[in-house]
Structure 1
Amino acid sequence: MLSVFIPGATSGIGLGLALRLREAGSTVIVGGRRTELLYRIRAEHPGLDTVRIDTCDPASITAAAAEVLERHPQLDTLITMAGIMLTEDLRDPSFLATAEDTVTTNLLGPIRLIAAFLPALLQRPRATVMTVTSGLAYVPLPATPTYNATKAAIHSFSESLRVQLRGTSVRVVELAPPGVRTTLMNQENDPTAMPLDEFLDEVMSLLASRPDAPQILVERVKWLRNAEAEGRYADVLDALSGLHR
C-alpha cells in the first residue's frame, strides 16, 4: 500500500481523494494551513494523519517536509493538490494582486513541494509525484486568466519532470480535473460541474486500471483536453467565454 502526502486536502477533491486512498488501505497525511480544521479532520476521520503547511511559505514547506518524512519515512507519494481559483478583470490594474497570489499558490507552491520531497522519493524503490492541473490548462476560462496560466505551466513542468526522471524510481502523473462540484469558484451546486463522488469513482478506477498512465483524465475533461487536437478549440473557448462574466 502507498504512503501519501496531500497538501491542500482539507476540502473538496483533495479531502475526497485522501479518504478514498485511506479506504483503499494507504497511509494518508493531509496538509493544510488551518490547525483547527486539521484537528477536526483527524477527529472525524480516524486513521488520517495531518500536518500543518502553508504552501505559499517556503519555510513552512521545508518544516512540513521534515515533519512528514520523520513521522512517515516510508513516504512514497506526493500529490500537489493545493490551489486557488479567482476571477480577474485584466482591465482593472488591481487584478495584479490576485495574479501574484495565484502564481505563488498554484505554480511556486507545487514546484517548491517537489523540490522539498523529491530527494526522499528518489530513495524509495517505487514512488510517485502527482501534479494537479485542470482541463483549463488546455482551453482557458477567460474569467480566470492567471489560474489557467498556472495550470498550463504545471502541465508543462510535469512533462519536463517526467522526462528528467526517466530511469529513476519516481514516476510523474498529472491529474487534470474538469469542473467538479466543490467550493472552488462556488461550484457546489453547479449543474454543469461533475458531482464530486462521480469524479472520485472514475479517478480511483483509472488509477487501478492504468497504474502507469502519465495522465488521469476522466471522460468529462476530454472536451477540454482534446479540443485543439480535434479541431474544436475555438468553439470550446467561445463556450467558456460566456461563463462567470
Structure 2
Amino acid sequence: MDITGNTLFIPGATSGIGLALALALKDRGNTVIVGGRRTELLEKIAAAHPGLGTVRIDTTDPASIQAAAKDVIARYPELNVLVTMAGVMRVEDWHAPDTFLESAENVVTTNVLGPIRLIAAFVEHLRTRPDATIVTVSSGLAFTPLKVTPSYNASKAAIHMLSESLRLQLADTSVKVVELVPPSVQTDLLPGQAENEHAMPLGEFVAEVMTLLETRPDDREIQVERVKFLRYGEARGDYDQVVATLNGTDPH
C-alpha cells in the first residue's frame, strides 16, 4: 500500500487508533473519510480537522453499512482503500451464560460480521480501481489469548484467517489485503487502558505503523515490534510461556 495519493474510508475512526491513523494518513496527502455512529461527534471531528470527510455508519447494522457505502462511493468515486477499523472489546466471565452471552454476541457482530459486511459492500467498487487495498484489523490476541476477553480473542483470530483467505481469493484482482496487527495500545478500548503503562502509547504506535507502511509497502501484515512477542510465540516454541506472561501466571 502506498503511503500517499489514496482515498481511504475508515469506519470506526472517531477515536483511538482509527482517528489517530486517519489524521496521520491525511497529513501524508491522502483523502480520508472517517465513519462513526454519533453525528455530533462526527461534526466536532470535521470542525477540528478541516478536509477530513465524515460519514455516519453503524457497523452493527447491515442497512447502515449499505447506505454509508452508497454515500461514500457517490461522493468519493476515487476511493481505493477500505480500513475496517470498527471494533469492541469486552471482559467476560464464561462460568455462567447469563453473564457473557449478550456481550459475546455483540463482539462477534461488531468485530466479525461488521468487517465482512463492509468488505461485501465495497469490494465490487474496489475491484474497479487500478490499485486498491482492504486493510483488516486483527490483534496480537488473535495469536495469544488474554483470559478475560475470550470473544474478542476469537473474533480477531477470525479476522486473521479471513484476511489470509481473502488475499488468496482476490489475488487475481487489483485489490490487496493487508492486516494491521496491533498490540495493546493506550486507547479507551477497555476501561483504564488509556492509562495502562504496559500498553503502547498511541502516538508511538501510529508513528511506527506509518513508517512500516512507507518502508515496507508490500508486507501482508503490519506488525510493530511490540506485537511480535504475541504474534510469534508458537513459531518460536515458547507459546505456553507467552500465554502465562500475558495472563500474569508466569512463575518467573
Would the TM-score normalized by the shorter structure come out above 0.5?
Answer: yes
Corresponding residue to 2:28 among 24, 27, 30:
24
Structure 1 gaps, min length 5: none
Q: Secondary structure at the match of 1:87?
A: coil
Query: RMSD of the alignment, in Å?
Result: 0.8
Deviation at 1:92, TM superposition (A): 2.1
Kindly indicate whether residue 208 of structure 2 is the aligned counterpart of residue 215 of structure 1.
no
In the aligned structure 2, how far is the partner of 1:170 from the partner of 1:204? 20
What amino acid is the match of 2:171?
R
Aligned to 2:14: 10
Aligned to 1:163: 168
Deviation at 1:28, TM superposition (A): 0.3
Kindly indicate whether residue 73 of structure 2 is the aligned counterpart of residue 69 of structure 1.
yes
Kindly indicate whether residue 39 of structure 2 is the aligned counterpart of residue 35 of structure 1.
yes
> Percent identical across equivalent pairs?
62
In the aligned structure 2, how far is the partner of 1:242 from the partner of 1:67? 46
Aligned to 1:225: 231
Moved more, 118-127 or 91-100: 91-100
Q: What is the 5 A alignment of 1:98-177?
A: 98-177=103-182
Aligned to 1:198: 204
Corresponding residue to 1:179 among 176, 184, 197:
184
Deviation at 1:90, TM superposition (A): 0.2
Deviation at 1:241, TM superposition (A): 2.2
In the aligned structure 1, how far is the partner of 2:226 from the partner of 2:31? 29
What amino acid is the match of 2:110?
T
Q: Secondary structure at the match of 1:73?
A: coil
Deviation at 1:242, TM superposition (A): 3.0
Once the two structures are superposed, what CA deviation does each residue of 1:203-230 show, in whole Å capped at 9, x if it has no partner?
0000001111100000000000011000
In the aligned structure 2, how far is the partner of 1:114 from the partner of 1:218? 25
What amino acid is the match of 1:118?
V
User: 4+ residue runs of structure 1 moved beyond 3 angstroms?
Assistant: none
Once the two structures are superposed, what CA deviation does each residue of 1:115-148 show, in whole Å capped at 9, x if it has no partner?
0000000000000000000000000101000000
Once the two structures are superposed, what CA deviation does each residue of 1:13-59 show, in whole Å capped at 9, x if it has no partner?
00000000000000000000000000000000111000000000000
What amino acid is the match of 1:66?
K
What amino acid is the match of 1:170?
V
In the aligned structure 2, how far is the partner of 1:193 from the partner of 1:241? 14
Return the TM-score normalized by structure 1.
0.98
In the aligned structure 2, how far is the partner of 1:180 from the partner of 1:232? 23
Deviation at 1:240, TM superposition (A): 2.2
Return the TM-score normalized by structure 2.
0.95
Deviation at 1:178, TM superposition (A): 0.2
